[in-house]
Chains A and B, each alone.
Chain A
Amino acid sequence: QVQLQQSGAELVKPGSSVKISCKASGYTFTSYDMHWIKQQPGNGLEWIGWIYPGNGNTKYNQKFNGKATLTADKSSSTAYMQLSSLTSEDSAVYFCAAGAYWGQGTLVTVSS
């Protein structure tokens, strides 16, 4: 069955960066674009962007340009999202999603 297994929760300091992973299994990694979504309590859901793992093409929500960088490694069927220059506004749960399937989410907490 399709699974998207995300990396664990992160506690990071303001101004730093963090890289979240999403390992896909149960399907051909290049069959679906991999999307990333941000969820904050009270602020709902925001679509960050997608990457096509087949060739690395990306599309970003302009709001996240310069904040998020999406990459994918076909050899390990893993997608990554790096978030940079972190502030408290980046504290959220981040999901990867491919087709109908979502990862379990990764909580990122930005705090000194």
Chain B
Amino acid sequence: DIQMTQSPSFLSASVGDRVTINCKASQNINKYLNWYQQKLGEAPKRLIYNTNNLQTGIPSRFSGSGSGTDYTLTISSLQPEDFATYFCLQHNSFPWTFGGGTKLELK
């Protein structure tokens, strides 16, 4: 199975900050990497698919990049509604595997 190592696990930031969250795969996943946001008690919401494609309706302050084994989610200017948990998903090979999650908290 492909292991997805996500960092950091916790992140404290302020409104307006630029933040980055990373996922490192144990092998090349050919850009088959999605990013999700989950708020407490809610279903995850897909933000980015296949590394850098913004899901319809998601604000442009969210962006993704990467290749090979290393991928990044960037939020350019944090808004109050962005404080949530984020996780990555590789869908290059079965079984699909998730990163451990990053909890983004208000500083």
Give A residues with C-beta under 8 Å from B: 35, 44-47, 59, 61-63, 95, 97, 100-105
Distance between Cα atoms of A57 and B97 in the complex (Å): 20
Interface pairs (25), CB distance under 8 Å: A44-B87, A44-B98, A44-B99, A44-B100, A45-B89, A45-B101, A46-B98, A47-B89, A47-B95, A47-B96, A47-B97, A47-B98, A59-B94, A61-B94, A61-B96, A63-B95, A95-B43, A95-B44, A100-B46, A100-B49, A100-B55, A101-B46, A102-B43, A104-B42, A105-B43
Contacts of B45 in A (CB 8 A): 102
Which partner residue on chain B sits nearest A4 by CB separation? B43
Distance between Cα atoms of A82 and B94 in the complex (Å): 21
Distance between Cα atoms of A23 and B45 in the complex (Å): 18
Contacts of A103 in B (CB 8 A): 43
Binding site secondary structure of chain A: strand
Q: Mark B72-97, 1 if CB is under 8 A from A, else 0.
A: 00000000000000010100001111
Distance between Cα atoms of A95 and B94 in the complex (Å): 18
Binding site secondary structure of chain B: loop
B40 to A: closest C-beta gap in Å: 11
Identify 9 new A-B residue pairs, CB closer than 8 A, beyond the known A45-B87, A61-B95, A63-B95.
Answer: A35-B96, A44-B98, A45-B98, A45-B101, A47-B97, A62-B95, A97-B44, A102-B44, A103-B43
A75 to B: closest C-beta gap in Å: 25
Distance between Cα atoms of A35 and B96 in the complex (Å): 10
Q: Mark B22-46, 1 if CB is under 8 A from A, else 0.
A: 0000000000000000000011111
